[in-house]
Amino acid sequence: MTEPSKSGIDRKLNQNDLIVITGAGGFIAGALVRYFHDLGYTRIRAIDRKPLPQWFQRISGVECLTMDLGEKENAIRAVEGAAEVYNLAADMGGMGFIEHFRVECLRSILINTHLIEAAWRAGAQRYFYASTACVYNTELQKDPKVRALKESDAYPAMSERGYGWEKLISEMFCQEYWAERGLETHIARFHNVYGPHGTWFGGREKVPAAICRKVIEAKDTGKHEIEIWGDGTRTRSFCFIDDCVLGIDMITHCDKLIATPINLGSHELISINDLVSLVEDIGGVKLARRYNLEAPQGVAGRNSDNTFIKSVLNWEPSTPLRIGMVKTYNWIEQQYHDRKAGKWVVRD
């Protein structure tokens, strides 16, 4: 597939049109802010409920606001004057978080409910919603050798409890706002996005970051063992952050993808055991493995069927997992040693 140039995307935007990005103190949205800033867009409003010092990235010249968008008044303020709204705000994390805090995950529906209504009332041109592969029917994901999931596999609905159901009903909001009210909406189902400038400790980190941290800790402490959640046979595909933000841009500015959920993920499937081996190789260490069969594990297998995205965009995420993991490992290793030395972690 030929990757189109970023400048070749017809965004129908002026450089000074206001772009609003929510969840911007977090991983993917923070990268998306930087992406549009680096393209030369001069008016970007970045919003997150976290205090500004806790944001992963803050970019000079970007309007940064601390707001809880679960409150209606804040959602209205957030989208004032917006040409485009990118909703990536959600209370979520890795499997440990979304299995144990389902109520918090479900409550994220308030963000999308208030924000999409406010965006429509404000006259926004486009609204992007960040969905997830967790919307897919869990009955189709009981085998590590799972067939890749295509977009229609979300129905009949049997989503991941909590987080998956919240995302699926929010997708429906986006579809109905287009059908009934004419707000142009776009929906991407993320498949395990990873990379630098994301959560890597504290309980909300996802598998690639958690494994990198555990390998780095084992090397540093000399305790050459690693705990793996489950038996290591579960399989996933992982999408590198650079592919993800480019994909968001392309999906949001494609007329064929209005109100149409689409996979945004890699088709490169790997088991957790093999992912650990990959990170061990990057770190130059071999660790004894302890399997915690009582830990949250998620579905047995999940992979992205990219037939649809290739047919519409002539593109799919293509960063090889090893290349992306090297970049991720190196960034986390620097963060780890800076934190150990008592340095304030620089997030830029």
Residues annotated catalytic, as ranges: 163
User: With 0-12 CB in 10 A as exposed, 13-18 as middle and 19+ as buried, what is 80?
Assistant: exposed
Tokens encoding 109? 């529906």
Distance, in Å, from the CA atom of 339 to the CA atom of 211, rounded to the nearest integer, reads 18
Q: Are 199 and 55 in contact (CB under 8 A)?
A: no
Task: Give the list of residues 6+ apart from residue 261 with CB closer than 8 angstroms, or none.
Answer: 131, 135, 151, 154, 171, 187, 188, 189
Give the orientation angle of helix 321-340 with respect to helix 207-221, to 10 degrees: 50
* Sign of the torsion angle spanned by Cα atoms 177, 180, 186, 189: positive
Residue position matching structure tokens 């063992």: 225
Task: For residues 120 and 184, give the distance between their C-alpha atoms in angstroms, rounded to a whole number.
Answer: 9
Residue 149 DSSP symbol: B
Phi, psi angles (nearest 5°) of residue 192: 50, 70
Q: Which two tokens stand for residue 196?
A: 């630098």
SS3 71: coil
* Chain CA centroid to CA 212, Å: 18
Whole-angstrom distance between the N-terminal and C-terminal Cα of the chain?
A: 31
